[in-house]
């Protein structure tokens, strides 16, 4: 006879496998078998399942059961000083600082602490009073990590602040970006093919983009950091792609470049979030087991109304994704 802890462990392993296969309803069923013996078991997996399914409130209920952060229990309509910490990726900060204006309505002063590369961008997000270095110590009434803001406001799919742009780059910066591409003719497309090193499954080999090299009436621009010009030339031909990220630390310059594009095509990385927050047309190319924020099977995103999603049909198959992108470009979609 299998013991209850062993049965729970087995159900947990099955739940993990089903989740990786994106069989979400079945993964949930097996995760609940675990919770019968241990209520906290596979809570994070269930949270991700609910978010993928768009059942945000059920995800927040998972968070309610397990979280002990002191701000959870503070029920106040008005705060003095609020500090938002950006402890994760810059893409996360861009996505969730859409709530800055809403949070500002509940406090006297709103500060955001984040990595140095992010700080210049914060100046252009309404509601933020001051940007601080990541490790700043601040005496405040409320401190919250920016990725917790949807939970803080109990977001649902139909109540996500989606008015774009919510990052406003000054015209002088946009004009400086335009000067870099003033000689370009045709449809200007910015490309980004690599994400952060912590999850290489999001990356697309540059060679996979070769079918976009000969599109008529298209001019390609690299929005990728640390580009190997020789590799670009080997895929697209000499001078076929203009490199825009000479100063890869200047995120405001990247934003200005994006604003001068007709379209951005990118993997799941900061560039996707930045283009979406700026209200530019952006096609985001997603790996098979895409992150919870992109949900399941959707071609659109409730977070970014100008974004279109292209998904791997099976794990590792980027060629079919690029073919779909090429077809959509040729069709003028």
Pick from 117-126, 236-245, 276-285: least confident: 236-245
Q: Domain 171-330, CATH 3.40.50.300 — does that match?
A: no
Average pLDDT over residues 129-136: 94
Residue 40 and residue 67 in contact, taking contact as beta carbons nearer than 8 Å:
no
Confidence class for position 2, pLDDT limits 50, 70, 90: very low
pTM attached to this predicted model: 0.93
Q: How far is CA 36 from CA 16, 39, 107, 252, in A?
A: 17, 6, 41, 50
- Which 8-state DSSP code applies to residue 133? E
Residue 230 pLDDT > 90: no
Confidence class for position 11, pLDDT limits 50, 70, 90: confident
Q: What residues does each domain of the chain span?
A: 4-66, 70-159, 171-330
Secondary structure of residue 85 in the 3-state scheme: strand
Partner residues linked to 142 by β-bridges: 82
Residue 70 pLDDT > 80: no
H or E element: which one contains 221?
strand 218-222
Partner residues linked to 131 by β-bridges: 112
224/318 Cα distance (integer angstroms): 18
Residue 1 pLDDT > 50: no
Residue 154 pLDDT > 50: yes
């Amino acid at each position: 006879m299998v013991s209850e802890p062993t049965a729970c462990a087995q159900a947990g392993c099955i739940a993990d496998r089903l989740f990786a296969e994106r069989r979400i309803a079945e993964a949930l069923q097996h995760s609940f078998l675990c919770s019968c013996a241990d209520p906290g078991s596979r809570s994070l997996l269930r949270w991700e399942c609910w978010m993928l399914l768009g059942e945000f409130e059920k995800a927040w209920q998972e968070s309610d059961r397990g979280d002990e952060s002191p701000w959870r229990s503070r029920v106040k309509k008005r705060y003095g000083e609020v500090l938002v910490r950006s402890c994760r990726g810059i893409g996360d900060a861009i996505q969730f600082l859409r709530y800055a204006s809403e949070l500002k309505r509940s406090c006297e002063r709103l500060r955001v602490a984040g990595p140095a590369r992010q700080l210049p961008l914060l100046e252009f997000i309404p509601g933020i009073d001051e940007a601080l270095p990541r490790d700043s110590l601040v005496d405040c009434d409320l401190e919250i990590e920016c990725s917790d803001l949807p939970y803080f406001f109990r977001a649902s799919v139909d109540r996500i602040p989606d008015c774009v742009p919510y990052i406003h780059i000054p015209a002088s910066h946009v004009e400086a970006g335009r000067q870099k591409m003033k000689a370009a003719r045709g449809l200007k497309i910015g490309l980004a093919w690599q994400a952060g090193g912590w999850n290489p499954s999001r990356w697309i080999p540059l060679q996979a983009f070769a079918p976009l090299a000969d599109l008529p009436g298209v001019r390609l621009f690299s929005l990728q950091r640390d580009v190997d010009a020789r590799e670009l030339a080997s895929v697209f031909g000499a001078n076929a792609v203009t490199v825009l990220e000479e100063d890869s630390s200047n995120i405001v310059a990247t934003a200005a470049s994006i604003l001068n594009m007709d379209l951005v095509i990118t993997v799941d990385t900061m560039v996707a979030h930045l283009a979406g927050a700026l209200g530019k047309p952006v096609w985001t190319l997603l790996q098979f087991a895409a992150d919870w924020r992109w949900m399941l099977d959707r071609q659109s995103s409730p977070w970014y109304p100008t974004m279109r999603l292209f998904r791997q049909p099976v794990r590792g198959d980027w060629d079919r994704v690029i073919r779909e992108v090429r077809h959509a470009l040729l069709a003028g979609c």
